Structure 1
Amino acid sequence: MPAKQKITPCLWFDGNAEEAMDFYMSIFKDSKIVNTLNWGKEGGSKEGSLLVATFQLAGQEYIALNGGPEFKFTEGISLSIDCSTQEEVDSLTEKLTAGGGEVRPCSWVKDKFGLSWQIVPSILPEMLRDKDQAKADRVMAAMMQMYKIDIQKLKEAYNGQ
């Protein structure tokens, strides 16, 4: 049995946690609802409605809380996704922005629930950490001009093309 995850991000929703979990689980493999807790007679919402759930996306656990309208997501926190191919970048961008999301600069997207995601090709941090600072600077300059990351254009910048 795998060890319990020590730190679990908790995502605050305004009554639509079930919809959000279903949306995210439709995008990522190895995803499931682990457990749920519904409101009882005492509490701040309708008896029997979802209060909190633990769910997994790509094997990583998250908590979804139907906390109400008091707090909204901001870009101050985002979930970063490691992508190995341009096809994966394109697919995740399309899926996460479906139904009202938006593509933001530098391969950030905001989904229809307001949660921010960074869709990062694995090669990008490798190029940005290159010991040749000129290569890293060209890649950074190219990335700063992009919304959805284009791996081929990053490679061209890296190679000085």
Structure 2
Amino acid sequence: MTPKNTICLWFDKEAHEAARFYAATFPDSKVTAVHEAPGDYPSGKKGDVLTVEFTVVGIPCLGLNGGPAIKHNEAFSFQIATDNQEETDRYWNAIVGNGGKESECGWCKDRWGLSWQITPRALTDALAAGGSEATRAFNAMMTMSKIDVAAIEAARRG
């Protein structure tokens, strides 16, 4: 059954490679279908992979190999909630260590330019608490690239 809503992500020519990486990295993620172009198109030829259906942590996605004209940017990101530092490190290191780039405040980009927020629940819980706890956690987060759970928890406690 086709989902009612699917996120479409534009890639140059590596949608299948990206989808396989996401499926291997995140739970409840898989490549479900690969479709070849039935004819030539502006950035490809008949028989090239045109679209890839996949899920990322249960979210249905479609990778479109549309060519180099459109680039990913921070206007769209996947936010992955993590339960502890080990899980945070695993996802962060998988993305950054596979040709990605670190950014700030828990953000990083994969090698295809797609943005990810690797966000420990300790951070979202601290921010949701409001007041001085949230302020201290927020100020600590603003100094980080990858989120340090112990530092967030210490800041929250004051």
Output the amino acid matched with 1:93: W
Output the amino acid matched with 2:53: T
SS at match of 1:129: helix
Q: Which runs of 5+ in 2 are unaligned?
A: none
SS at match of 1:81: strand
* Per-residue deviation, residues 2-59 of structure 1 (Å, max 9, x unmatched): x854322111000111111111111012322222221113533211111112111222
SS at match of 1:89: helix
Is 1:135 matched up with 2:130? no
Count residues in correspondence. Answer: 157
Deviates more, 1:20-29 or 1:33-42: 33-42
Equivalent in the alignment of 2:71: 72
Equivalent in the alignment of 1:117: 116
Q: Compute the TM-score of the two structures, normalised by the length of structure 2.
A: 0.93
Aligned residues of 2:37 and 2:46 also touching (Cα < 8 A): yes
Distance (whole Å) between structure 1 residues aligned to residue 122 and residue 116 of structure 2: 18
Is 1:100 matched up with 2:108? no
Equivalent in the alignment of 1:55: 54
SS at match of 1:140: helix
Deviates more, 1:9-18 or 1:22-31: 22-31
Q: Compute the TM-score of the two structures, normalised by the length of structure 1.
A: 0.91
Deviates more, 1:41-50 or 1:105-114: 41-50
Equivalent in the alignment of 1:126: 125
Identity of aligned residues (%): 38
Equivalent in the alignment of 2:27: 29
**RMSD after superposition:** 1.5
Distance (whole Å) between structure 1 residues aligned to residue 3 and residue 28 of structure 2: 16
Mapping of residues 32-47 of structure 1, within 5 Å: 32-44=30-42, 45-47=44-46
Distance (whole Å) between structure 2 residues aligned to residue 79 and residue 67 of structure 1: 20
Equivalent in the alignment of 1:13: 11
Aligned residues of 2:22 and 2:30 also touching (Cα < 8 A): no
Distance (whole Å) between structure 2 residues aligned to residue 4 and residue 66 of structure 1: 20
Distance (whole Å) between structure 1 residues aligned to residue 140 and residue 51 of structure 2: 41
Aligned residues of 1:81 and 1:120 also touching (Cα < 8 A): yes
